[in-house]
Amino acid sequence: MKTENAQTLDGRATVESLDREFARLFVHSCAVIENTPSDSLYAPAQHGGTAAATTSDVPQPTSIGENVLRAAAAIEQTFGGITANLWDDPFEWTLPEYLATPAKVLAYLTEVEETRKRAFTSFTDDGCLLKQVAVPSGETPPLIDLLRSTLMRAATYLGQETKCP
């Protein structure tokens, strides 16, 4: 008799895989912040990190804190949109002046993770991932595409590789 694990039986293999990847980014982000001294949190990166192009189209150095916040903001925007139809850009409340200490950044990361977890509990099976989601651009991508895109964007900010199912 062939035995299958519960993950296969309930048809949530892809949901669970995505959940693990997002959770891994959360753990990584927290570890980075916990190991970054307060005075280095927003100091320009010395290891080649770059921000999005500025008005002069010349990349500017970014800090550890900025990269972690950008990753979390991408996740917050997507899951805030999915759970509450709030697609606001978290830019205003993720500014370094508001999240000036590692403790405040960690609190923000935890809030984002709770929002993300809430969304994942609503995904009953992998079939849910095929539903179309209306996003602010007017497009309606399948949920799985939106989640993969968000995962890749957040991982890129963190300089991480991730496995997309």
Among 15-19, 64-68, 90-94, 134-138, where is mean pLDDT lowest? 90-94
> pLDDT tens digit string along 57-112?
545 558 999 999 999 999 999 999 999 988 888 877 788 888 999 999 999 999 99
- Extract the tokens encoding 51: 């921000």
Give the per-residue pLDDT at 88.
Answer: 83
DSSP code of residue 148:
H
- Extract the tokens encoding 33: 């912040």
Question: Does residue 129 contact residue 14 with C-beta atoms inside 8 Å?
Answer: yes
Give the per-residue pLDDT at 72.
Answer: 96
